[in-house]
Amino acid sequence: MESSLPTRAQGRCIHCLNLTEVTEADHVFPASWYPSSTPGAVQRWTAPSCPKCSRELGQLEKDLLVRLVLSTDPKSQAAAGLAARVFRSLGLDVDGLQEKEKTIRAGLRAKIRSEFIPSAEAAELPGKIPGLGPPDGTFRSTGAIPIPWAGLSIIAEKIARGCEYKYKNRQRLVMPPYGIRTLVRESDFVPEPFASACKVSTSAQAAKSGVCSSPKTSTQCGTLFRFGMP
């Protein structure tokens, strides 16, 4: 990732780069993604965002959190507290909700359930994300959940833009002709057959449009840790 020459963000959104009368403190790393095991001394960086980008990115972060956490070991220290947070967002293990809120959460739960991919079908699909899902041979999973590559790419760019802004308090923006590319490289960390799912998105706009080098693998998969979700 390369940034522009030093450019101070004064009333400018670091994401869309538009000047805005109102800026919001957007968390560089999504606030809802911090596990409960996060040390109190960890700095939770924020960077200026316009309300529109903050709202749209926030919704995407919530959607990805559900998908990623359903594919993550809930007993992992690195994910402490996240499973409970996601289940509450789906209306599970939570009491005292008003009827309107119950309906909203039930709709989200139904949407996620409708996207579950059966094990037999998921086994034939490329794009399984290394590190997600139970280790091979531990138990038979009931399936997988799609994790859109475009969403991962957009949030990765958001984090990169925020880090560039906050690093050494330089307040630098990533502006044309420079940009950010999000990619999964062939490496020891991405073993075959997953290397065939490598993709590159050259801009947030391309990611939003679902443009990638291999349209057939535009969705990654996370094997479910949780099953029997009501």
Q: Taking the CB of residue 204, how many other CB atoms lie within 10 A of it?
A: 21
Q: From CA 221, how far away is CA 133, in angstroms rounded?
A: 9
Q: Which domain holds residue 152?
A: 24-36+45-223
Of 109, 107, 66, the C-alpha closest to 86 is 66
Q: Does residue 160 sit within a domain?
A: yes
CB-based contacts of 67, cutoff 8 Å, min separation 6? 112, 145, 146, 147, 222
Total count of domains within the chain: 1
Q: Does residue 12 sit within a domain?
A: no
What are the pLDDT tens digits along the chain (230 aa)? Answer: 444 433 444 589 999 999 998 999 999 999 999 999 999 999 999 999 999 999 999 999 999 999 999 888 888 888 899 999 999 999 998 889 999 999 999 999 999 989 988 877 877 777 777 777 776 655 556 678 888 888 988 999 999 999 999 998 889 999 999 988 876 654 444 444 444 444 333 333 323 322 222 223 355 666 565 434 44
Of 160, 159, 153, the C-alpha closest to 212 is 153
CB-based contacts of 134, cutoff 8 Å, min separation 6? 73, 141, 223, 225
Of 65, 63, 66, 31, the C-alpha closest to 49 is 31
Looking up tokens 């020459």 gives 5
Q: Does residue 212 sit within a domain?
A: yes
CA distances for 172 relative to 27, 95, 117, 162, 176, angstroms = 16, 45, 42, 9, 13
Q: Does residue 8 sit within a domain?
A: no
Joined tokens for residue 213: 């080098």
Q: Does residue 135 sit within a domain?
A: yes
Q: Taking the CB of residue 60, how many other CB atoms lie within 10 A of it?
A: 19
Q: Does residue 99 sit within a domain?
A: yes
Q: Does residue 2 sit within a domain?
A: no
CB-based contacts of 19, cutoff 8 Å, min separation 6? 11, 12
Q: Does residue 196 sit within a domain?
A: yes
Question: What pLDDT score was predicted for residue 143?
Answer: 79
